[in-house]
Structure formats: C-alpha cells, structure tokens
Amino acid sequence: MINTIRKTENKIICSYCKSEHIKKDGKRKTKNRDLIQRYKCLDCKKRFILNDGFYRMRNSAGKITLCLDLFYRGVSTRKIQEHLNAFYPHNSSWVSIYEWIIKYSKQISKFTNNLKLNIGEEIQVDEIEYHRRKSHKAKKGIEENWFIDSICPETKFMVASEYGKSRGHKETKQVILRAKSRSINQIKIVTTDGLNAYDKVIKKVFGYNKKLKQYNVIHNKNISSKDEGFNYPIERLHNNIRQRTKVFRGFHGSIESANAIMKGWEIYYNFITKHQGIECCPYELATDLKLNSNNKWLELIYLSKK
C-alpha cells in the first residue's frame, strides 16, 4: 500500500493509472494520527491513502506544525520538547523536532521558490557573517560562513537567500539569479554595499549595454559607511535574523542543515508572521497566493504536496 496519489481542487487522482474513478474504501487506524481515509481506484483496483505531507509520520500534523512555529518564534528544540512533555502524553525528542524543521523547511521552500512575485523595481542585497562549527565536536574548530539575501523594500518580501561557505561570485550569483527569475524582469535597481563581487555578478546576470556603457539595471552601490539609511529595510531584516540565530550554537556543524534552517526562517518571515511596517505578511503584497487557515504552516505543507 503506497501513498502515491495527488489531489486537485475537488478531485483525487490515482498516480498509478491517472484515473479519476476513485471511491472511499474505509479508514486506516493509526496510533497518533487518528483515522486516515483510505481510497480505492476502480480502474486499477489498487488501494492507497492521500499523501498530505505527513505520510508515515508518527505524530499528528498539528503537533508537528506547532513545533515549527515555536522554533521560529524563538523557542529552542529542547524547550519545545519540555513543552510537549507537559501537554502531550506521546512525547517527541528534540532530535525529532530538529528533523521536522529540516524536512519541512526543504519541502515548503521547493514550493515557495517557484512562486512568481509582484515586487517593486528595487531589490536590496546584503550578507551576514556567521561562524559555524565544523562539526558537533567542538575540538574541530569553526569556519567563517555567509548568509546572502535580497529583499524588496516596497513589499518587504525576502526574494531569495542562500547560506554558504563564502560570499564569492558563485554564492552571490545564485541569490541574484534566483531573484531575477522570480520577479519576471521587474527589477530596475539593485542596491548593494561595496563588495566587489556584486559588480561582476550584476553585470553577468542582468547584462551590460556596451553602447550606453551602463548596466541594464541601475547598480546602486554604497561604498561610504557615512551614508546611513540607504538600505534600512534589509538591515532591519538582518537585525531580526540575528536575534533568532545568535543562540543556534554553530548550526550543528553542517552547511546543509544551516541552509535548511535559514530557508525555514525565510518561510516564517514571508508567509507566517505579520510585518509591522505593512501590517500584513509580505506574501500578501508580493504574490497571488491565498492562505485562509490560521495554521499557515499546515496549509503550506499541503500545498507543497500537490
């Protein structure tokens, strides 16, 4: 019995034979997720259950999304474990909570990264320095890493981000290229600091007009530290990120997990929490996506499995 069906609006389609001739076929009893509807295909006669993003998970969807929300609101995995121990008889370890964060941050980001954006003409790009442990064993030392991100000052939407080992051409190009592809050529101004890597990357990504001897976008490059306030939207964003990540204790010694955790924070910032400056979530201004549930984590997980 394999969980391999997909749901479109009001229809359930069997992925074995693509048939729409489906009927309900009882319910499957689970220990911690209550009863789950079982289906049968009338054409290929195979039985299956709906993959809602929580297939074979040993905890309920509400409990898992609660942990995601608590983590990105500032509660550590061990404190979340204490909370579960107090209110849920079937407890989960902090390791399980950490694995849920990695799993669903990756899953949701695959969906959100494909959303086309309606943003303003300017994006701001900047980076944050981190010192990550090379391993969970402290004796192996630390190394310098960078979190590079871009934001639309108008909608406050974080357009693209990446956690990597450096802030060289490869890493900055990855972020700016993703920002360009998601914005459907709406970007006219790119604001950065004085990092030399941005010159070459912006020229390569957006192109350079040899006749006019200028970029196809305006590169608003700030070199002087005296020019304060030119990029306050992204600086404010970085203050929020710093506040949450300063207690992460080296991202558990892994670039992959660090990047997944930061992808989750991007989801939290864009889709879950309201921005005080615009009094709504950034996605409401920057995308056509409609999230109707109070549990937006759960709705995003469902959407990511369609």
List average pLDDT for each run of 10 residues in the chain, which is 306 residues long: 42 79 82 76 83 78 93 94 86 90 95 92 93 74 90 95 91 93 88 89 87 83 62 89 84 83 96 93 95 93 85
Residue 100 sits in the same domain as residue 157: no
Number of domains, the chain: 3
Residue 135 sits in the same domain as residue 225: yes
Residue 249 sits in the same domain as residue 157: yes
Q: Give the domain CATH number at 192.
A: 3.30.420
Residue 18 sits in the same domain as residue 82: no
Number of residues that make up the chain: 306
Query: Residue 25: inside a domain, yes or no?
Result: yes
Query: Residue 267: inside a domain, yes or no?
Result: no
Residue 178 sits in the same domain as residue 250: yes
Please provide the DSSP assignment of 108-140 as one string: HHHHHTT------SEEEEEEEEEEEESSSSGGG
Q: How far apart are CA 40 and CA 46, in angstroms?
A: 6
Residue 42 sits in the same domain as residue 141: no
Residue 130 sits in the same domain as residue 201: yes
Query: Residue 200: inside a domain, yes or no?
Result: yes
Domain that holds residue 60: 56-115+289-306
Query: Residue 28: inside a domain, yes or no?
Result: yes
pTM metric for this prediction: 0.84
